[in-house]
């Protein structure tokens, strides 16, 4: 993962060989980077992006899910998602997400936690958690907040099905949709420049207004992480994870 600040725009770029998936260590680094850029006076806006041209994010690291041995370690793993969402929510800077490809599970939560997501038509979405015996509990509140309960429920229940980028755009997960990465990057650069030149007090105030009503999420997402940590070591989840690992 790398971070940089250029002309008022802070960038966080993450990657992983397995489809830009999110192991616990990377989740911690992302939360820390967002928090640090939120305090960086030279950064007025933050852009979150991933490496390569394949998936934007494959969600939770399957290798780490397979290795979880007890509810305590499961809770610690899922707290990584809780901490990242809370870091994005509490960051005083607006966060733009550049979504160039498919997004799964926790990656959908990360996109929903951004303040403005720009995507290509290749950026299909899926919440696959139910298929491995758990559910999208930690990311649920931020996804529901962005696209509504009915649309969140549809994604969560149809755990094997992909929804198109157009579907996600029409429901508000993506603020903009572009035909390819070149068009995406051109618009992202223009918007980031515009926001970097804006009054930082005004954008910070907008951010607080956008997230009103989520002040209890530290406790809520921790409770959801405990629920996921318990479920991931259940017999049904272990069987599903083992089956999908082979």
SS (H, E, C) the chain: CEEEEECCEEEEEECCCCCCCECHHHHHHHHHHHHHHHHCCCCCEEEEEECCCCCCECCECHHHHHHCCCHHHHHHHHHHHHHHHHHHHHCCCEEEEEECCCEECHHHHHHHHCCEEEEECCCCEECCHHHHCCCCCCCHHHHHHHHCHHHHHHHHHCCCCCECHHHHHHCCCCCEEECCHHHHHHHHHHHHHHHHCCCHHHHHHHHHHHCCCCCCHHHHHHHHHHHHHHHCCCHHHHHHHHHHHC
Q: What is the pLDDT of residues 81-115, one digit of tens each?
A: 999 999 999 999 999 999 999 999 999 999 999 99
Are 173 and 125 a contacting pair, CB within 8 Å?
Answer: yes
pLDDT for position 242: 83
**Helices 24-39 and 71-90: crossing angle, nearest 10°?**
20
Q: Is the dihedral of CA 234, 240, 27, 208 positive or negative?
A: negative
Alpha carbons 56 and 33: distance in angstroms, whole number: 18
Instruction: Give the count of domains, the chain.
Output: 1
Q: Tokens 């950064």 belong to which residue? A: 43
Residue 219 belongs to some domain of the structure: no
Residue 220 belongs to some domain of the structure: no
> Residue 144 is part of a domain; what is its CATH number?
3.90.226.10
Give the pairing type, strands 2-6 and 9-14.
Answer: antiparallel
pLDDT for position 246: 67
Percentage of residues in the chain having pLDDT higher than 70: 99
Residue 112 belongs to some domain of the structure: yes
Residue 221 belongs to some domain of the structure: no
The token duo for 232 is 């991931």
Q: Mean pLDDT lowest for which of 74-78, 172-176, 180-184, 235-239? A: 235-239
Picking from 73, 133, 150, 137, the residue whose alpha carbon sits closest to that of residue 105 is 137
Residue 145 belongs to some domain of the structure: yes
Domain that holds residue 15: 2-181
Residue 245 has pLDDT above 80, yes or no: no
Residue 49 belongs to some domain of the structure: yes
Residue 203 belongs to some domain of the structure: no
Residue 142 belongs to some domain of the structure: yes
The three-point CA angle 126-20-153 to 5° equals 20
**Helices 71-90 and 106-113: crossing angle, nearest 10°?**
20
Q: Which residues contact 170 (CB under 8 A, 6 or more apart)?
A: none
Q: What is the pLDDT of residues 25-80, one digit of tens each?
A: 999 999 999 999 999 999 999 999 999 999 999 999 988 999 999 999 999 999 99
């Amino acid at each position: 993962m790398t971070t940089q600040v250029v002309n008022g725009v802070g960038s966080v770029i993450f990657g992983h060989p397995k489809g830009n998936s999110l192991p616990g260590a990377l989740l911690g680094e992302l939360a820390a980077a967002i928090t640090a850029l939120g305090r960086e006076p030279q950064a007025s806006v933050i852009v979150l992006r991933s490496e390569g041209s394949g998936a934007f994010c494959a969600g939770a690291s399957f290798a780490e899910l397979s290795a979880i041995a007890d509810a305590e370690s499961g809770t610690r793993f899922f707290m990584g998602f809780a901490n990242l969402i809370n870091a994005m929510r509490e960051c005083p800077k607006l966060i733009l997400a550049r979504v160039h490809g498919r997004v799964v599970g926790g990656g959908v939560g990360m996109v929903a936690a951004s303040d403005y997501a720009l995507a290509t038509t290749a950026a299909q979405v899926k919440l696959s958690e139910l298929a491995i015996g758990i559910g999208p509990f930690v990311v649920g509140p931020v996804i529901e907040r962005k696209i509504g309960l009915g649309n969140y429920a549809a994604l969560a229940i149809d755990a094997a099905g992909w929804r198109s980028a157009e579907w996600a755009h029409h429901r508000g997960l993506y603020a903009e949709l572009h035909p390819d990465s070149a068009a995406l990057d051109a618009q992202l650069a223009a918007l980031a420049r515009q926001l970097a030149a804006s009054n930082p007090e005004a954008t910070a105030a907008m951010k607080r207004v956008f997230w009103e009503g989520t002040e209890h999420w530290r406790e809520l997402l921790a409770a959801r992480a405990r629920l996921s940590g318990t479920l991931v070591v259940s017999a049904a989840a272990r069987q599903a994870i083992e089956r999908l690992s082979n």
